[in-house]
Structure 1
């Protein structure tokens, strides 16, 4: 078991955001977190990664309680990609090498440099290594921040809407990359998403959140028209093109 979340709750001063959230994932899992805007998806990721401090509950990374780990130790286990990332005049290679920061004592070692080069190669970014982030397209920038997270060699990836604002080609490419690295490197990923069809196509587990609570959780069997309608307040039907289910608003 890579991650276990137990009875997690977080409140802002004006309202309760997430309540009694509990679930677990294992190596190789690609978990899509789904729900309307304001349901608590991003807050959940921030609580798992200790960006926010939950008011109740516990998070375990393997057998370690996340809230008792140092920032450096937590960063070795969790790679986090937020919704909004800096678009700075940093080279792609240096941006990816920042993922090695939890391991670097004085300066980057030969191993750190090799890992950064390897991640760039795995994500087909080698040709961009010396280009600056602010010269890249949105899809290319998103691949770089995912590469930086992978350079941490984490056990768990947390990605907050990594395909939002991307065109169709880049949405598919980023989703394929996530699925590929999760399976090949036997890590786990929790990804908040708005596109139900993208989620169904690439994720193997699903967490549907409504009003800050888990409405349904499980495999593809929970992605029913009834559950989707109750979470999104939209009537849908589900058809198939080949083996791929497609959610169609009615």
Structure 2
């Protein structure tokens, strides 16, 4: 088991955001967290990554309590990509190399440089290596941040709407890359998503949040028209096009 979340809850002063969240994922799992805006998806990721301190509950990374790990050690275990990332005056290569920071003592080693190069290659960014981040489009910058997370060589990827600023081609490319990395490197990924069709196509596990609670969790069997309508308040049907499930609002 790579990630185990047990009874996680978080409250802001004025309201409760997530309540009694329990789930676990193993090597090779791609978990999509789904739900309407305000359901608690981003808050859940931040609690797992210790950006926010949950009021109750525990998070275990490969059996070790995440809240007892040092920051450097946690960064070796978890690669996190936020919804919004500030663009700094840095080359693309240097930005990705920052993912090796938890491992670097004095200066980057040859291994660190090679890992950064491999991460750039996996996202199709090699030709951008010496360009500055502020010269890239928003979608290209998002891919750089994902490459930086991959350069950490984490056991767990936490990605908060990683495809939200990408065009159709890059949405599919990034989702395919995440799935490929998870399977080949036998790590796990927890990804918040709004696009149900992208989630169904690439994820193998699903967590549907409603009002801060788990409404349904499991494999493709939980992605039913009834569950989707209950969570999103929109009637849908699910058809197949060339054996690929497609969610269609009706």
TM range (shorter): over 0.9
- Please say which of residues 25-34 and 176-185 is displaced more in the overlay: 176-185
Q: How many residues are matched?
A: 250
**Residue by residue, what CA displacement relative to the aligned partner does 1:78-127 show, whole Å, maximum 9, x if unpaired?**
00000001122210100000000101111111211111112112222111
2:119 is the alignment partner of 1:158: no
Partner of 2:204: 204
Question: What does 1:1-250 correspond to in 2, within 5 Å?
Answer: 1-250=1-250
**Residue by residue, what CA displacement relative to the aligned partner does 1:158-210 show, whole Å, maximum 9, x if unpaired?**
00001112211111111111111111111110000001011001100000000
Cα distance, 1:139 vs structure 2: 2.3
1:180 and 1:143 map into 2 onto residues whose CA distance is: 15
**Residue by residue, what CA displacement relative to the aligned partner does 1:46-103 show, whole Å, maximum 9, x if unpaired?**
0000000000000000011000000000000000000001122210100000000101
**Residue by residue, what CA displacement relative to the aligned partner does 1:122-172 show, whole Å, maximum 9, x if unpaired?**
222111110111111222211111110011110000000011122111111
Q: Which runs of 5+ in 2 are unaligned?
A: none
1:27 and 1:196 map into 2 onto residues whose CA distance is: 23
2:230 and 2:118 map into 1 onto residues whose CA distance is: 44
1:51 and 1:211 map into 2 onto residues whose CA distance is: 21
Backbone CA RMSD of aligned residues: 0.8
Q: TM-score, normalised on structure 1? A: 0.98
